[in-house]
Amino acid sequence: MNAQTLHAQATTLPAPMPMPAMPPAVPAGTPIQGVQSTTTTPPPPGLAPLEQSFIENILRFNLGKVGTFYMTYENNSQWNAKIFKGKIEAAGRDHIIISDAKTGMRYLLLMVNLDYVTFDEELKYTSPYQVGNRR
C-alpha cells in the first residue's frame, strides 16, 4: 500500500446516521394526537382517591384522632428515636402536624422519619380493594 491509500483509509468515516425529525412544537395543555387522555374528577376535600392507600391518606381519614408516632432519626448522637403523642391536625405527602393537648405544643413531623403509628381507637379506612366499605 502506498502512503496516500493508507491515509485515505485512516481518515474515512462511516456515513452519518439520519436524525429523526423533531415533532412540531405544541402549546402547553394541548392534547397530543394518538395519546388517550382521561379526565379524572378530584375527590371531595378530605377524601383520598379510592385507588390510593398511602399513609398520608389514612391519616387524613382520621383527622382529630390521637395517635402515638414512632420516629427515628439517623446519625443523631443525642437521640435517634423519639415518640410523639398527639391529635392529628393535618397530613401531607411529606409531613404530619399533630398537637399535644397536655402541653399545647404543636409538632411538624416529617414522613421520612416515621416508622409507625398506634391508635387507641378504631380507624376510618377504605381499602382500595374494598370499594364502598369505610370503617
Tens-digit pLDDT profile for residues 63-90: 999 999 999 999 988 889 999 999 999 9
Q: Let me know if residue 9 belongs to a domain.
A: no
- pLDDT above 50 (res 51): no
Query: What pLDDT, on a 0 to 100 scale, did the predictor assign at position 9?
Result: 52
Banded model confidence at residue 37, pLDDT cuts 50, 70, 90 = very low
Total domain count for the chain?
A: 1
With b for 16 or more beta-carbon neighbours within 10 A and e for fewer, the 55-68 pattern comes to: ebbbbbbbeebbbe
Q: Let me know if residue 19 belongs to a domain.
A: no
pLDDT above 90 coverage of the chain, percent? 48
Query: What pLDDT, on a 0 to 100 scale, did the predictor assign at position 69?
Result: 98
Contact 58, 69 (CB under 8 A): no
Q: Let me know if residue 59 belongs to a domain.
A: yes
Mean of pLDDT values over 29-47? 56
Q: Let me know if residue 86 belongs to a domain.
A: yes
Mean of pLDDT values over 23-37? 55
What's the start-to-end Cα distance of the chain, in Å? Answer: 87
Q: Let me know if residue 87 belongs to a domain.
A: yes
Q: Let me know if residue 134 belongs to a domain.
A: no
Distance in angstroms (rounded) separating the CA atoms of residues 112 and 65:
21
Query: What pLDDT, on a 0 to 100 scale, did the predictor assign at position 35?
Result: 46
Q: Let me know if residue 125 belongs to a domain.
A: no
CATH of the domain at 59: 2.30.30.100
Domain of residue 105: give its range.
55-119
More confident residue, 89 or 36: 89
Using one digit for the tens of pLDDT, what is the confidence trace for 100-132? 999 999 999 999 999 999 999 999 987 776 655
Q: Let me know if residue 131 belongs to a domain.
A: no
HSE-CB at 114 with a 13 A cutoff on CA atoms is 22
